[in-house]
């Protein structure tokens, strides 16, 4: 396996490094020392990930003299809420966390988003290190500085922008993922290629089976690195999502609505985004400028991703109604991220209700009768 890749990500008050490679969890202490992290170290994780990697991380930190505290949160998107945030902060404060301490998130997207939010608001902000252990969290939640939790009205409606001080992506942790989680992460990389870079899109589609393999490989490191580089370019240009950063939501408007409707336990985030990208691609072709031939390429490649849990029949009216709770609603108008060409984004508003419902119908038709 190739050597560790280092990506520098700039933001409005500084920069941080994202390291991608092997043996990063077992050598975490040397990387935390490099950013002058101080104790106590508050490790936020869940029971499954803690059993896999918690001891490895704590042994590294404690051998270097760090004092650690581990807070385990319940598993699942249903617990990504303010109640869990309060419980985590109660535990950290009770265990002696100080404003000079460091929060380390160890886990997937829920842990990364929630732990980042805790770091952003505890003592008005303390040092933060992300150690994502899923492909989805590596290419999505861990990079870019978005933190937050869900509200009963919608996903990620409560949160803040808070940049980490370091991100460690140990690809060996991906060997423990099941196929659905690997597919979910692949979907987010696919999104980056579709909206930003045609060459990367082609690389992903040509190497899909190798990228979805159970064992990490150099092509996967290459794909993760490129996805992070592309996201870094977007975030550096628009850290607070005032304009350009909206393109990272391609497929997410319908995807979040589908996720909310079907339930967070039934469908993974990335699986819902696959369906959402299909609907957004259909809109790009029918209500935008995406040429027929390029829409066909996009559609064929999305259908080729082995979605293990077909959505069943989606109610177009219900899904369309849920989209109005999306974060991208501004001045009572929903902004859609579409494509003008493969690798080129197009943000539009004023998409008629009937077109959105027809896009959901297109999703239904594309996956009708598909078996897991």
Give the pLDDT band (50/70/90) at residue 372.
Answer: very low
Query: Residue 331 pLDDT > 50, yes or no?
Result: no
Q: Considering the entire predicted model, what is its pTM? A: 0.89
d(CA 140, CA 185): 8
Structure tokens at 237: 């240009």
Q: Taking residues 223-230, report their average pLDDT.
A: 95
Same fold for the domain at 5-176 and the one at 200-213+217-367?
Answer: no
Fold for the domain defined by 5-176: Rossmann fold (3.40.50)
Could you tell me the residue ranges of all domains in the chain? 5-176, 200-213+217-367
CATH class of 200-213+217-367: mainly alpha
Q: CB neighbours of 372 closer than 8 A, spacing ≥ 6?
A: 307, 308, 309, 310
Nearest to 73 by CA among 112, 37, 100: 112
Q: Taking residues 215-231, report their average pLDDT.
A: 92
d(CA 248, CA 280): 13
pLDDT digits (tens, 9 = 90+) for 160-207: 999 999 999 999 999 999 999 999 999 999 999 999 999 999 999 999
């Amino acid at each position: 396996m190739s050597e560790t890749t280092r990506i520098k990500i700039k933001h409005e008050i500084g920069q941080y490094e994202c390291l991608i490679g092997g043996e990063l969890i077992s050598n975490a202490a040397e990387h935390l020392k490099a950013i002058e992290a101080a104790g106590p170290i508050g490790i936020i994780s869940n029971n499954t990930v803690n059993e896999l990697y918690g001891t490895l991380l704590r042994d590294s930190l404690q051998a270097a003299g760090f004092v650690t505290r581990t807070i385990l949160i319940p598993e699942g998107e249903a617990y990504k809420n303010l109640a869990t945030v309060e419980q985590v902060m109660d535990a950290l404060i009770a265990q002696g966390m100080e404003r000079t301490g460091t929060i380390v998130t160890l886990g997937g997207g829920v842990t990364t988003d929630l732990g980042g939010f805790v770091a952003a608001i505890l003592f008005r902000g303390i040092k933060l290190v992300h150690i994502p252990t899923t492909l989805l969290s590596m290419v999505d939640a861990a990079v870019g500085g978005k933190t937050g939790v869900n509200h009963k009205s919608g996903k990620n409606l409560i949160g803040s922008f808070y940049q980490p001080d370091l991100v460690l992506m140990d690809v060996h942790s991906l060997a423990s993922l099941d196929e659905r989680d690997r597919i979910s992460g692949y979907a987010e990389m696919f999104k980056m290629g579709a909206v930003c870079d045609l060459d990367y899109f082609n690389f992903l589609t040509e190497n899909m089976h190798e990228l979805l393999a159970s064992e990490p490989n150099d092509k996967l490191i290459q794909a993760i690195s490129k996805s992070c580089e592309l996201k870094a370019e977007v975030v550096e240009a628009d850290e607070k999502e005032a304009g350009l950063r909206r393109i990272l939501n391609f497929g997410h408007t319908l995807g979040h609505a589908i996720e909310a409707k079907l339930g967070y336990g039934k469908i993974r985030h990335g699986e819902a985004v696959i369906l959402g990208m299909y609907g957004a691609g259909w809109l790009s072709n029918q209500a935008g400028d995406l040429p027929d031939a390029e829409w066909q390429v996009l559609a064929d490649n999305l259908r080729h991703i082995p979605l293990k849990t077909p959505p069943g029949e989606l109610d177009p009216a219900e899904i369309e109604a849920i989209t109005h709770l999306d974060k991208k609603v501004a001045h009572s108008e929903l902004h859609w991220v579409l494509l003008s060409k493969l690798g080129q984004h197009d943000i539009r508003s004023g998409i008629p209700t009937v077109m959105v419902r027809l896009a959901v119908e297109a999703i239904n038709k594309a996956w009708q009768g598909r078996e897991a």
